[in-house]
Amino acid sequence: MSADRLYALTPRPTCAGGVDNQPMADTVSQPPLFDYEAALRACARGERSALQQLYEQESPRLLGVVQRIVRDLALAEDIVHDAFIRIWNKAGTFDQTRGSGRGWIFSLTRHLALNAVRNNARHVQMEPGEEGDMEHAAIDGWQEQTDVFDWRVNPGRIEACLEQLEPVRRNCVFHAYVDGYSHQEIAQRLGAPLGTVKAWIRRSLTALRECIG
């Protein structure tokens, strides 16, 4: 499918009044039986209806996540739109043995958002002392946790350290500090005890602090 036809298939994600910084878990429900893996396999076979289903299922949540990273609604809409083009083109590379379909979609979209932040930091002229502010915006949503861990460092370094975590622990950190889920919501989504989720997050923050130094 050409890029132009795919753009016609996936409308721009919109959010009336913008997206605030509040968790969206209470406003965007996730139908429990949606099969992300099957949808990605269908995309890989060229079934456009599967991409449309994925878009309708996840674009509101992805828009909220991306806007928390880039702090700009118009840019976030562009990134989410581009993410679905990337999902369509790369669906055949998804490996279910390495993680969930939904996790793959969110990981791909986060990488696009972080790349956009880094690109803006390189190309936008800044006043003295402001260099790096655009990159720091990628983790503004995590700054309230600075009593535990200082997230205001180079996002590229954070990303490298996150990749060293076990996937389930890395997802816990993303769910808590990017997606805006409560610990209880994370436990429900992962099917893990609440105490275990809290321990994973606490140990992950410790490991990240040691990694970044």
* Tokens coding 74: 């118009």
Please work out, in degrees rounded to the nearest 5, the angle formed at the alpha carbon of residue 209 by the alpha carbons of 21 and 190. Answer: 55
Q: What pLDDT, in 10s, does the model give residues 29-59? A: 444 578 999 999 999 999 999 999 999 999 9
pLDDT band at 125 (very low <50, low <70, confident <90, very high): very low
Fold classification of 142-213 is Arc Repressor Mutant, subunit A (1.10.10)
Instruction: Assess whether the region 1-12+34-124 and the region 142-213 belong to the same CATH fold.
Output: no
Contact between 156 and 122 (Cβ < 8 Å): no
Q: Does residue 124 carry a pLDDT above 60?
A: no
pLDDT digits over 140-153, tens only?
Answer: 444 444 333 444 44
Domain boundaries, the chain: 1-12+34-124, 142-213
Identify the CATH number of the domain defined by range 1-12+34-124: 1.10.1740.10
Classify residue 32 by burial, with Cβ atoms within 10 Å: 0-12, 13-18, 19+.
Answer: exposed
Please report which confidence band the pLDDT of residue 19 belongs to, taking 50, 70 and 90 as the band edges.
very low
* pTM assigned to the model: 0.55
**Taking the alpha carbons of 202, 140, 62, 44 in that order, is the dihedral positive or negative?**
negative
Report residue 122: phi and psi, to 5°.
Answer: -80, -35
pLDDT at 26 over 70: no
Q: What is the pLDDT of residue 21?
A: 42
Per-residue pLDDT for 28 more than 80?
Answer: no
Cβ atoms of 15 and 63 within 8 Å: the answer is yes
Per the prediction, the chain carries an average pLDDT of: 74
Check: CB of residue 187 under 8 Å from CB of residue 140. no
> How confident is the model over 93-115, as pLDDT tens digits?
999 888 788 888 988 998 898 88
